[in-house]
Amino acid sequence: MKIHAYTSFSYSYLNRARVWAKSLKEIHPDWVIWALITDKEPEGFVFNLMEEPFDRLMTAEDLFGDAAERWLFGMDVIEACTAVKGRGLIKLLETPGVEKVFYFDPDTALFNSMDPVCKILDNHSIVLTPHQIDPEESQNRMAILDNEVASLQYGVFNLGFVAVANDSEGGRFAKWWADRLNDYCHDRLDIGVFVDQKWCNLVPCFFDKVFILRDPGYNVASWNLSQRVFSFDSNGVLNVNNTPLRFYHFTKLGPIGDVMTSRYAKDNVEVYEVWSAYKRWIDRNTSLNIPSKYWYYGVFTNGVPIKKKLREIYRARKDLQDYFTNPRESHDGLLNWANSEGFEGLF
């Protein structure tokens, strides 16, 4: 198949990834859909690809081999699931017959065809969507802080979506992005890095044939709702600013998402209808035998949670990486070393 799409997630986000995959398959049944899972199955749950809406599967172990366990120990779940996206992109671009690759975050859902982006990729190598495409009103200080200032902090482009052509420039981007995510995919706003996202501020500077997609129907989310109005046209098509809604990014499902939606959707009833439908889809696609916030790599083998500070210490010290080659092992391992060194007070 010529067009492949993938998403990256842990099992706690499987319900969202299922909704995304089903929505994509309904609109583009000819695309090949990949699940990139950085996790291992919880006890009592079996992931059977034949029963899932995905066509193919790849894991962190597929991408990083024997080094996966040590590499993943240096990251929390968000860092890990974003860090694998670069190598995942390379793998798909290297798959025979692939002409174009789309990445979507698992908490997105498609509502209309992505054919316009496919056409853009006929003449461009990389397609990115900005968090905002219109400035906030100067008197709306809250929106400026929530949206424009947040973009300055977390990245101009939202990497919940990127599309890449399988050409030399697309491949060059994939290799550069994968290299940076391999070593620097961390939540380190103090040094100007926010996981996979802020790196792509540099894409228009480093690469040619970059298309900045400024269509309001793409990557709609709380960070741009202040500028986007939903309405149904006479044919029943859901539009955003009078253009078809292509996909919605349902970030922060739960109380935070509800607060941000009500803050900026206000009386735009169609937005709440979309959210209500999404919540029903999530409920129908939730496996009850996956524990809430489960992540296999989030605990030592004895079940003790791995604290972020210890992850930071481990990834900063090559001597620890060389000595503790299986850092999650709790018996005579890194956890005992940390306790013996008096680091438990940092956790």
For 271-291, what is each residue's pLDDT tens digit?
A: 999 999 999 999 999 999 999
For 302-316, what is each residue's pLDDT tens digit?
A: 999 999 999 999 999
| Interacting residues of 14 by C-beta distance below 8 A, sequence separation 6+ | 47, 285, 287, 290
φ, ψ at 157 (rounded to 5°) = -105, 145
For 64-103, what is each residue's pLDDT tens digit?
A: 998 999 999 999 999 999 999 999 999 999 999 999 999 9
- Winning range, highest mean pLDDT, from 149-153, 191-195, 244-248, 326-330: 244-248
For 101-111, what is each residue's pLDDT tens digit?
A: 999 999 999 99
Is 289 contained in some domain?
no
Strand segments (E) across 144-246: 157-165, 187-188, 193-194, 210-212, 230-232, 238-240, 243-244
For the chain, where are the alpha helices, taking DSSP H only? 14-27, 60-64, 68-73, 77-83, 85-93, 115-120, 141-143, 150-154, 168-184, 203-206, 255-265, 269-284, 308-316, 318-323, 334-340
Greater confidence (333 vs 168) lies with 168
| Interacting residues of 327 by C-beta distance below 8 A, sequence separation 6+ | 69, 70, 73, 314, 320, 321, 333, 334
Q: What is the mean pLDDT of residues 182-190?
A: 93
What distance in Å separates the CA atoms of residue 56 and residue 34, rounded to the nearest whole number? 5
Q: Left, alpha or beta for 97 (phi > 0: left; psi -120 to 50: alpha)?
A: left
Is 327 contained in some domain?
yes
End-to-end CA distance of the chain: 48
Model confidence at 332: pLDDT above 90: no
Could you say which of 259, 284, 309 is where a domain stops? Answer: 284
Cβ(248)–Cβ(111) below 8 Å: yes
Is 240 contained in some domain?
yes
- The band of 344, judged by pLDDT with boundaries at 50, 70 and 90, is low
pLDDT value at residue 235: 87
> What are the structure tokens assigned to 146, written together?
């929530």
CATH of the domain at 82: 3.90.550.10
Q: For the chain, how many structural domains are there in total?
A: 2
Model confidence at 347: pLDDT above 50: no
Is 71 contained in some domain?
yes
pLDDT value at residue 4: 98
**Are residues 123 and 196 both part of a single domain?**
yes
For 221-273, what is each residue's pLDDT tens digit?
A: 999 999 999 999 888 889 999 999 999 999 988 888 899 999 999 999 999 99
Q: Which domain holds residue 311?
A: 299-346
Is 291 contained in some domain?
no
pLDDT value at residue 338: 83
What distance in Å separates the CA atoms of residue 237 and residue 272, rounded to the nearest whole number? 16
